[in-house]
Structure 1
Amino acid sequence: MQAPNELVSVYSTNNAVEAEILRTALHSEGIKCEIDGENQAGLTGIISMEIRLLVRAEDSDRARKYLEQHHHEH
């Protein structure tokens, strides 16, 4: 079982702008979210670098549900 404050990944992308938009959206829902991998993607310029959205384990279900309901991949 995960600790409530442990960070878990709820979404991944290779688009830093998309990650930032989704992080802001989760924050507006009261879900603290961090971006992991954004700096590496920007430094290397490799478009396949994975950027992950991380939230506390206790918020992960709510975050995933929000993303499923409000974010549609293009």
Structure 2
Amino acid sequence: MQTDQYRGYTLWGHAILQEEDVLHQERFAGSGTIMRDSKVVVASGVLGVFDTDEDAESAGLSWCRAWVDSHG
């Protein structure tokens, strides 16, 4: 899980381990959560499936920043 502070919000990028695919590779679903004052403001659904946990977390943080920019 990655976290960031952005425009007064706390952003979380999540990586959720998926079942191994037919090639026995681990895959990660990415999502994001936005909090303010210790309360959840909004959370995304699954944003996509990624090859690495870092890519999944980064996608979640990117979604969070875009949401804040469009609602701030």
TM-score, L = length of structure 2: 0.33
The structure whose RCO (Cα within 8 Å, separation 6+) is larger is 1
Kindly indicate which of the two structures has a greater share of residues assigned to strand: 2
Kindly indicate which of the two structures has a greater share of residues assigned to helix: 1
TM-score, L = length of structure 1: 0.32
Answer with 1 or 2: which has the greater Rg. 2
